[in-house]
Amino acid sequence: TTASVDPCQLMVESTDQMSFVQTELRVPASCRDVTLTLKHIGTMPAASMGHNWVLTETSKMRSVAIAGMNESENAYVPKDDARVLAHTTVIGGGESTSITFPTRGLEKGGDYTFFCSFPGHWNIMKGTFVFQ
The residue ranges that bind Co ion (CB under 5 A) are 51, 116, 118, 121
DSSP-derived letter for residue 5 is: S
Quick one: 103 or 118, whose CB is closer to Co ion? 118
Which are the contacts of 25, defined by CB distance < 8 A and separation ≥ 6?
10, 12, 36, 114, 127, 128, 129, 130
Quick one: 48 or 132, whose CB is closer to Co ion? 48
Report how far residue 12's alpha carbon sits from residue 77's, in angstroms, rounded to the nearest whole number: 19
We find the least distance from the C-beta atom of residue 104 to Co ion, in angstroms, to be 27
Quick one: 112 or 114, whose CB is closer to Co ion? 114
We find the least distance from the C-beta atom of residue 118 to Co ion, in angstroms, to be 4
Rg (CA), the chain: 14
We find the least distance from the C-beta atom of residue 123 to Co ion, in angstroms, to be 11
Residue of minimal CB distance from Co ion?
Answer: 116
